[in-house]
């Protein structure tokens, strides 16, 4: 009888340990999948050349940041852009214009600060040479082909696309990444030829449909 009890306890302990490892593996797999998930479908090659918006075309180098104001993982993108611009070695006057396109659902009230003054959006507004554009229904973002919050596009003064995609190492995590390094190089010394691309990792942008 004692042997049966010991065997049962041993079996139960083994089962609990196995269940713990299985659960841990599941959480790890979900975390990895979340961290590397892009919006679907993902468009990395944004509009090239840059579309004319509100009757105005690009006249100087311009960096577009397309964002969902409530997307928590976009904060890492903004932090990374701050680092890229600060480490470029260029004066503020030499840095590109920064156009922050904040997509907002149709019908959001003008005084709804949860959308129009979110912490992440305020942080983006502090980027050098930044101007915030509220994009109701995501019309402007769609004209560029942007799908994921945190998508970045760098255009030359003549409208050529130089960089398109993301700048974070994984979803919601800032730190040096290939995308950030390529963007920095294109800001410092734009190259001719096909634009450089990198995966954009973030929530889907707001849109009418």
Per-residue CA distances from 58 to 19, 55, 103, 163, 186 (Å): 57, 10, 20, 15, 17
- Digit-coded pLDDT (tens) for 42-68: 444 466 677 766 555 678 899 999 999
Query: How would you classify residue 101: left for phi > 0, otherwise alpha for psi between -120 and 50, otherwise beta?
Result: beta
Closest by Cα among 187, 154, 171, 179 to 85: 187
197 Cβ contact list (under 8 Å, min separation 6): 44, 45, 163, 164, 165
Question: What tokens appear for 72 in the block?
Answer: 């928590």
pLDDT tier, 194 (very low <50, low <70, confident <90, very high otherwise):
confident
Q: In what order do the strands lie in the sheet with 130-136?
A: 130-136, 97-104, 62-67, 151-155, 161-165, 196-198
Task: Judge whether 180 and 76 are in contact, CB under 8 Å.
Answer: no
pLDDT tier, 32 (very low <50, low <70, confident <90, very high otherwise):
very low
CB atoms within 10 A of CB 123: 17
Domain extents for the chain? 1-35, 62-198
- Beta-strand pair 151-155/62-67: antiparallel
pLDDT on residue 99: 95
Mean pLDDT of 142-168: 91
> The domain 62-198 belongs to what CATH superfamily?
Glutaredoxin (3.40.30.10)
pLDDT on residue 57: 66
């Amino acid at each position: 009888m004692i042997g049966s009890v010991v065997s049962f306890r041993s079996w139960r302990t083994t089962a609990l340990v196995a269940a713990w490892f299985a659960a841990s593996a599941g959480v790890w797999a979900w975390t990895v999948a979340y961290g590397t998930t892009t919006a679907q479908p993902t468009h990395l090659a944004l509009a090239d050349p840059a579309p004319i918006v509100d009757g105005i075309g690009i006249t100087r180098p311009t960096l577009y940041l397309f964002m969902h104001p409530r997307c928590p993982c976009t904060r890492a993108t903004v932090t990374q852009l701050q680092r890229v611009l600060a480490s470029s070695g260029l004066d503020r006057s030499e840095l590109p214009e920064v156009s922050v396109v904040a997509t907002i659902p149709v019908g959001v009230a003008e005084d709804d600060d949860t959308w129009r003054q979110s912490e992440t959006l305020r942080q983006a507004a502090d980027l050098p040479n930044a101007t915030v554009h509220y994009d109701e229904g995501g019309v402007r973002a769609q004209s560029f082909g942007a799908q994921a919050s945190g998508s970045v596009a760098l255009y030359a003064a003549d409208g050529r696309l130089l960089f398109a995609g993301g700048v974070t190492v994984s979803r919601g995590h800032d730190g040096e990444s290939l995308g950030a390094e390529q963007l920095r190089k294109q800001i410092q010394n734009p190259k001719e030829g096909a634009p450089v691309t990198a995966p954009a990792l973030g929530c889907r942008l707001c849109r009418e449909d």
